[in-house]
Each structure stands twice: as C-alpha cells, then as structure tokens.
Homo-oligomer: A and B are copies of this chain.
Amino acid sequence: MSSIVLAVGNGKTLFGGAGVAPDADLVRFVDPESPIINAFDLCALRGDGIFEATTVWKGFPVSLENHLKRLANSARLVDMPEPNIPALTRAVQLVIDQYDDPEPGPMLRIIVSRGLDPDTGVGKAADRTPTVYIFLDAKGTLHSLEPITMASMTRGYPSDITARAPWLLNGAKTLSYAFNCAVHRECARRGVGDAILFTEDGYTMECPNSSIVARYGDTFVTPDPRIGILNGTSQREMFAWALEEGKKAEYRKLPIAELREADSLYMTHGGWSIPISAIDGRALAVDAAEIQAINDAIHSGRTHEDALKIGPTGDYE
C-alpha cells in the first residue's frame, strides 16, 4: 500500500490472449525508485509506444473504457498487438487496490512500449512482447480548476493530411511527446498556461495534452478528431454533461478565428474540464459554478455511460 503505486505489466497476458489471466500473471508491483526499463527498450530509444492517462477519483478510474478503447486504436495505428481490454481493466483495478493515500484524485498512467529493439544485440532474440507498466501517483502534479490563459500556435500540418499520410500517426497517442513538451516550454516563454494548435489552413486542433471545447450560447463545439487529433475522453464526458443538461454538443471543423470568438473555452484532459480565462490576449468569462458542476458530474461517474456513446458522426468534410 502506498502513495505511488508502480506495477510492471505482463505484456503477454495484457496484449493478446483471450480471457483474463490470474491476478499474479497480470502485474507485479515494484519499488517506484528502482530502474525497470532496459536500455534497449524502444520506449527509451525511440519513443516507440503508446499510453493513456486519467484521474482515479476516490477509487473510480474516470473514462477507463474510453481510454482503453483509445489505447486499442493507438495500437492499431502504430501496428502494435491488440490490447486485451478485460485483462487491462483488471490490471488497473489491482493497481488501484494498492493505493492508500488520502489524496482523492491521483493520476493513473498506462505505458506500453513496443518492447526491446530488434535491431540491437540485446533485443534481437526477444519475442516482440510489449513492455507494459502502470502507475498511480498522488505525489506528482495534480489537476487544479484555476483558470488558465492560452496562446494559439501552428501545428504545421494542413487539415487534410491525416487521411493522406497515416505514417504521421496523427490521432495515435504515442510516447513521442518531445514536440508536445516543446510547446509547453514555448508557453512558459510567452507567459501563458497552455497552447491550442491549429492547422496551416487555420482550423483548430488540440492542446499538447488536452482537448478543447468552445461554447457558443447553449452549444458546445469541439474539433472533429478526423482532422488528426486525439478523440478526447474528458471532452466526451463534458459533452455527456452538456446533453444531460439539455444543451447542444457538436463535432466539426472549427476555424481558429471562430475559436477566438467563443463565449467560453474549456481545456479537457485526464478526467477534468479546466476553464480558459484568455486566448491570444482576449479575456474570457469563467463561470466557476458551471466548472464545478461539470467536474462533479465527471468524477461522480454520472456522465460515464453517456460518454461511451458520444463521437463524431457522418463524413469528414
């Protein structure tokens, strides 16, 4: 039992195989301070792997089904083995069971590397089993509902690139986040809290590790993921809340110029909806009571079932 739980997953039972192996064959718990990754593992050498992250709120892993579905989609996009969803679900529960810190909302992360690099001497003989680890951490940076400021920046891609160039891996949540980290350093230089990325032809994409939602009157809008962004899990929880409240929610191509004119903006990630107080220097009103209501709905599980049914429909224009 501890405040930081680290489990090494069994790549063979968590990726591939039918049914759920016994608990002892799913994960083993290790000291978080001890090294667990080989020097020739592709997560370290190439950022070659996928991951998911969310909040566990009072024992409830927020949006877990949608996170594991997205992990499966990422695995498909990067040609990795298919995750065994029921086995991963059980593994996550075993990790949660080891947690006993008073902090109600520790961060959960599931890391999956392609495994040892077959082009190295150490990896050559390995059998292409993914390297998996899961952690639950109450001692790192946790979420806050403090309003944040935001700057817009180009992602460098046109809005039609994803279908034309699937090797760019747009829409896959890979471990190659050096770019995402660089955007956050650029934000620090500019004195803003986060960034919203747009395409070269001027359409809104996503934040480096968050989705974005804009409100215009009673309508909540988010960019269609088929522009080459992640299908937001917390954004879908927020859409579920909006629909339950009798408001409207839509996916579409959203010009960045239109985003800048929104009545309100929200950054969503890791089980949270965080208010945005300014974009590119334009101040936005923040309704603290609404923000609290959205997050309470997400954390209590109230939006959970509805969020599973939400997603873009129709063709991508």
Contact = CB atoms under 8 A, between A and B. Distances in A.
Quick one: copies of this chain in the complex?
Answer: 2
**Residue from A34, A120, A141, A176 having most chain B Cβ neighbours under 10 A:** A176
Contacts of A172: 178
Contact of A176 (B39, B109, B177): B177
Given A154-B164, A157-B156, A179-B169, A38 B33 contact: yes
Nearest to A184: B167
A245 interface: no
A78 interface: yes
Interface stretch (A85-93, A132-140, A219-227, A304-312): A132-140
Interface residues of A, number: 70
A292 interface: no
B178 A46 contact: yes
A140 B123 contact: yes
A317 B239 CA distance: 47
Contacts of A51: 45
A4 B4 CA distance: 34
A193 interface: no
Contacts of A48: 177-178, 181
A124 B139 contact: yes
User: Which applies to chain A's interface (DSSP): helix, strand, loop or mixed?
Assistant: mixed
A80 to B, nearest CB: 10
Nearest to A158: B200
Interface string A61-81: 000000000000000001100
Interface string A14-48: 00000000000000000011111111111111111
A135 B39 contact: yes
Contact of A37 (B4, B39, B177): B39
A46 B124 contact: no
A161 interface: yes
